[in-house]
Amino acid sequence: MESFREMSKEELQAQEVEVNKKYQEFKDLDLSLNMARGKPAPDQIDHANGMLETMTDYHAKDGLDVRNYGVLDGLPEMKEIFSDLLDIPAKNIIVGGNASLNLMFDQMMRLVVFGTEGEKPWGQLEKVKFLCPAPGYDRHFMVTETLGFELITVDMTPEGPDMDQVEKLVAEDESIKGIWCVPKYSNPQGICYSDETVDRLASMKTAAKDFRIFWDNAYGVHPIFEDVKVKNILDACKEAGNDNRAYYFFSTSKITFPGAGVSIIASSDDNIAEIKKVMTAQTIGYDKINQLRHVQFFKNADGIRKHMQILADCLKPKFETVLNTLDKELAGSGLISWESPKGGYFVSVDVLPGCAKRVVELAKEAGVTLTGAGATYPYKKDPKDSNIRLAPSYPTVEELQQAMDLFCVCVKKAGIEKLLEQA
Ligand code: PMP
């Protein structure tokens, strides 16, 4: 395809007439499609329905009746499954409730209220800053914004956060207390951190003694095209002599039922002891019936791995629809670039600077809701107004094809408008 950026004003104007016609045709279809959030489709969730069949045995392996009180930090057999799946010693795992974001918020609150490493609680400090690799997950940014921290954007590279930036920032400024990380098939770009990135995060010198990595491995067992191995941050921190630096989060939200799964927080021996001390006051225990349901359904870590293959088969045609349509309609157009993820839940695209909001608005007017432009950046402000997150999981392949055809028209329309403005 000829690049729109090479075209003369007259050529662009001719293209604009064509694109406007196509856009109007889409508007006339009265579409109503949603690609805003990474929700699994109903047919994908159905694969976990076996878990909802009536339980006949309410007893854990050690004979404990899960219908009653008892066990703060999770059923041993649930821990064993996560331990095997994620290669973390069971003793370093606390099993939580229905979703991991809750554990992340609680952990952040513990640092705000009680502090760690004998340092002042973060809530008593004049200023707390947090590193936010972007594009990233909007709800991470919201947690730290809600607690009043200053969010500092760090660029993403194909190997993870730009470590030159990160190392410089954390070495110089002791008010920088931590960093958000989605190490595998990141939301939204699908980036997998390289071993070097993991090692540099684990070993870097930080001005803050109580610097913390919030390691959210939400897509840790979610390959679609290729199973990538990412180095274990807890091991890397231990090797570097910074045992307490990382909190590791994971959940079955994108494995069984979003918002009704099982979550974990894992960390060093010291951190686990510190967390349990406060957790004891917070709850008698999380939902063990749900934990046992998960154990009975999957049986072991291999059960989860096999299930993820089924889910990958559901997601693959959807990701192919998105990637093939971008390729067919826009490759070489000079109006957009994108990453091809190997797994996870999203495809991230960058349109011409100053065009993302316009593309999202055009799609909305024609009946397709996309993730809000800017959502992937701290404070919802994309400095270039360029990044858009596409979430292919919920619509059917047919719906997705329609939505993507329209999306490509919107990218062309917004791009041509911008180029004509500059011509
Ligand atoms: N972390 C990331 C990176 C996510 O993309 C999501 C879901 N969109 C979550 C956490 C939410 O996980 P949970 O349901 O376990 O809170």
Query: Does pLDDT of 423 surpass 90?
Result: no
Query: Does pLDDT of 61 surpass 90?
Result: yes
Pick from 216, 283, 245, 287: which is nearest to 111 by CA?
245
- Residue with structure tokens 């009975």? 296
What pLDDT sits at residue 325?
Answer: 98
- Measured from the Cβ of residue 380, the count of other Cβ atoms closer than 10 Å reads 14
What pLDDT sits at residue 54?
Answer: 81
In the predicted model, what is the mean pLDDT of residues 222-240? 98
Confirm or reject: Cβ of 391 under 6 Å from ligand 1: no
Distance of CA 16 from the midpoint of ligand 1 (Å): 40
Pick from 107, 134, 126: which is nearest to 213 by CA?
107
ipTM: 0.99
What pLDDT sits at residue 418?
Answer: 98
- CATH top-level class of 61-299: alpha beta
Of 105, 140, 181, 187, the one to substitute when testing ligand 1's pocket (max ligand atoms within 8 A of C-beta) is 187
Atom number of ligand 1 nearest to Cα 258: 14
Of 45, 82, 101, the one to substitute when testing ligand 1's pocket (max ligand atoms within 8 A of C-beta) is 101
In the predicted model, what is the mean pLDDT of residues 337-363? 97
Whose CA is closest to atom 11 on ligand 1?
101
Atom number of ligand 1 nearest to Cα 37: 8
Distance CA 234, CA 149 (A): 25
Confirm or reject: Cβ of 137 under 6 Å from ligand 1: yes
Distance of CA 24 from the midpoint of ligand 1 (Å): 36
Confidence of residue 235 (pLDDT cuts 50, 70, 90): very high
Distance of CA 218 from the midpoint of ligand 1 (Å): 6
What tens digit of pLDDT does each residue of 280-331 get? 999 999 999 999 999 999 999 999 999 999 999 999 999 999 999 999 999 9
Distance of CA 7 from the midpoint of ligand 1 (Å): 43
Q: What is the pTM of this model?
A: 0.97
Confirm or reject: Cβ of 142 under 6 Å from ligand 1: no
Please report how many Cα atoms fall inside a 13 Å half-sphere around the Cα of residue 412, on the Cβ side.
28
Homologous superfamily of 4-44+305-422: Aspartate Aminotransferase, domain 1 (3.90.1150.10)
In the predicted model, what is the mean pLDDT of residues 147-157? 98
What pLDDT sits at residue 191?
Answer: 98
Distance of CA 216 from the midpoint of ligand 1 (Å): 8
Confirm or reject: Cβ of 182 under 6 Å from ligand 1: yes
What is the b/e burial string over 194-206, where b = at least 16 CB atoms within 10 angstroms of the residue's CB? beebbbbbbebeb
What tens digit of pLDDT does each residue of 119-151 get? 999 999 999 999 999 999 999 999 999 999 999
What pLDDT sits at residue 339?
Answer: 86
What pLDDT sits at residue 37?
Answer: 86
Radius of gyration of the chain from its Cα atoms, rounded to whole angstroms: 23
Which sequence spans correspond to the domains of the chain?
Answer: 4-44+305-422, 61-299
What pLDDT sits at residue 49?
Answer: 97
Mean residue pLDDT of the chain comes to 97
- Give the whole-number percent of the chain exceeding pLDDT 70: 100
Confirm or reject: Cβ of 362 under 6 Å from ligand 1: no
Query: Does pLDDT of 1 surpass 90?
Result: no
Distance of CA 214 from the midpoint of ligand 1 (Å): 13
